[in-house]
Chains A and B, each alone.
Chain A
Amino acid sequence: MFNFKTCAQPTCNTYICGEGPFCFRHSPNKEELHSSCVASLSGKEDVLDLSLTGGEFEDLVIPKKEFSSSNMAWCTFRNVDFSECTFITSFFDFCLFDRCRFNGITSRYSIFSGSKMLNCDFSGSSITHTNFVGIDTLHCNFSDCDLYYSNFGTSFLRDTDFIDCNLKKADFSNTNQRRVSFRYSNYEEAHH
C-alpha cells in the first residue's frame, strides 16, 4: 500500500506527497513536486503505491495504465483524461473532478467518496466494487457501465445519466436525485 506517514507540519493529518515529509499543500518546493507528480501520472509506467494528496492537475492525458494501491485523496483534476486506465484499490476520496473523462476504465475496489464531479464522463466502463458514497455530481454520464456492487449511497445526483447500466447489487440508498435517468438499466436490482 501507499505510504501511511502523515505530514510533518504540526496539526496536519494529511498523508505525505511522494517521498517527502510534507503533504502537497505544505511542501516548501511545490513546483518541483508538482512536476514530478505530473511526470509519474502522465508517464507510461504503471502507478503502484503512489501517495499524492492535495495536488492540482489540469489539461492532462493519462496514457492507458494501471493505478494500484495508490492514494490521490483531496486532489483537483481539471480536464484530465483517464480513459482506458485501470484502478485497483486506489483512493480518490474528497477530490474535485471537473471535465474529466473516464471512458472505458476498469475500476475495482477503488474509492471516489466525497468527491465533486462536474461534467465527467464514465461511459462504457467496468466499475465494480467501487465506492461513490457521498459524491456530488452535476452533468455526469455513467451510461453503458457495469456498476456491480458499487455504492452511491448518500450522494447528491443532478443531471446524471445511468442509461443501460448493470446495477445489480449497486446501492443508491439515501441519494438525492434530480433529473437522473436510469433508462434501460436494472434499477430494481439495486438497493434504493
Chain B
Amino acid sequence: MRIYQHFSVVGFCNTYLISSKDGSDAILIDPGHVDTELIHLIESNKFKLKHVLLTHRHKAHTAGLGTLVKIYNPTIYASAFATYEYPIRTISDHQVLSLCNLEVEVIHVPGHSLDSLVFKVGHALFTGDTLMCGRVGSTEGYREQALLLRSIWKRLMTLDENILLFPGHGTASKLRIERMFNHQLLELGAIAKERQNWREDE
C-alpha cells in the first residue's frame, strides 16, 4: 500500500492519496482544497482517481470536491448523516468496502460531528477530526465531548497500538503514541470518568 500526504494551506487540512501500488487506481481521503500540487501528485504517479472518501462534511475537508468531480468524476463515499450537493454513496458503521484492491473498514466515531467517520485501511487509520496528534477533535459542548471521548476509547483505542494514525489536521502519529502522550485524551478521559462517578453517586 502506498500513502501520499498532501497539506493545503487553505483550511490547513491533510488530504491522503492511497493506492495498492504505483500507477493503479487510487482513493483520495478528504479533498480539502485541490491545488496544482495535489493534481501533480496524482498525475506524476499515474494514478487513476476512482474513489473519494469523506470523514465528515466540514468545508475544510470537502471544499475541493467540485474540482475533483469535474476532472476525475470519482465515486464519493460519505456518511448518511450529512447531505451533499454531489451524488454520494452512503456508508455506515462496520461496513467494509473493497476499493482499488484495498479493504476499507468504516468506523463511526460521533462527537466532533454526527457524521464523523474513521477509515481503517490495513494498518493505517484515517481519523479526520476525531483524534489528532496530541489532542481530540473540537466539540460544540460538553455532551458532544463526552460522546467523542467515549467513541474514541470504545472504537479506536481497542485497536492494535501499532496502527498508524493519519489525522485531518496536524502531524501523523501512532495509536500507542496517542495512548501515552495525548494530554487532552488522558485529562478529559479522567474527567469523563469522574463525571460518570458523580452520576452513579447521585
Are A131 and B177 neighbours in the complex by a CB distance under 8 Å? yes
Once bound together, how far apart are the Cα atoms of A15 and B176, in whole Å? 14
Q: Binary interface profile of B, 144-165, with partner A (CB < 8 Å = 1, else 0)? A: 0000000000000000111010
Q: B residues within 8 A CB of A171?
A: 134, 170
Does A55 belong to the interface (CB within 8 Å)? no
Q: Which residue of A lies closest to B2 (CB)?
A: A1
Does B59 belong to the interface (CB within 8 Å)? no
Does A76 belong to the interface (CB within 8 Å)? no
CB distance from A168 to the nearest CB of B (A): 11
Q: A residues within 8 A CB of B135?
A: 153
Are A93 and B171 neighbours in the complex by a CB distance under 8 Å? no
Once bound together, how far apart are the Cα atoms of A89 and B1, in whole Å? 13
Given contacts A89-B5, A133-B181, contact A111 B122 (CB under 8 A): no
Number of A-B contacts (CB under 8 A): 84
Once bound together, how far apart are the Cα atoms of A4 and B183, in whole Å? 27
Among all A-B residue pairs, the 8 with the closest Cβ atoms: A134-B181, A153-B134, A131-B171, A4-B123, A154-B181, A113-B177, A174-B183, A133-B181
Are A4 and B174 neighbours in the complex by a CB distance under 8 Å? no
Majority SS at the chain A contact face: loop
Given contacts A1-B124, A89-B3, contact A111 B172 (CB under 8 A): yes
Count residues of chain A with CB under 8 A from any CB of chain B. 28
Chain A residues proximal to chain B, CB less than 8 Å? 1, 4, 6, 13, 15, 69, 89, 91, 93, 109-111, 113-114, 129-131, 133-134, 149-151, 153-154, 169, 171, 173-174
Q: Which residue of A lies closest to B134 (CB)?
A: A153
Are A69 and B3 neighbours in the complex by a CB distance under 8 Å? yes
Once bound together, how far apart are the Cα atoms of A151 and B176, in whole Å? 16
Are B177 and A13 neighbours in the complex by a CB distance under 8 Å? no
Are B183 and A173 neighbours in the complex by a CB distance under 8 Å? yes
Are B133 and A151 neighbours in the complex by a CB distance under 8 Å? yes
Given contacts A93-B177, A109-B172, contact A154 B162 (CB under 8 A): no
CB distance from B163 to the nearest CB of A (A): 9
Are A154 and B171 neighbours in the complex by a CB distance under 8 Å? no
Q: Which residue of B lies closest to A6 (CB)?
A: B162
Q: A residues within 8 A CB of B183?
A: 153-154, 173-174
Once bound together, how far apart are the Cα atoms of A111 and B175, in whole Å? 12
Q: Binary interface profile of B, 115-145, with partner A (CB < 8 Å = 1, else 0)? A: 0000000111000000001110000000000
Best-surrounded residue of B7, B134, B162, B173 (most CB of chain A within 10 A): B134
Q: A residues within 8 A CB of B173?
A: 111, 113, 131, 133
Q: A residues within 8 A CB of B5?
A: 89, 109
Are B160 and A13 neighbours in the complex by a CB distance under 8 Å? yes
Given contacts A13-B162, A173-B134, contact A1 B3 (CB under 8 A): yes
Once bound together, how far apart are the Cα atoms of A91 and B164, in whole Å? 10
Once bound together, how far apart are the Cα atoms of A174 and B186, in whole Å? 12
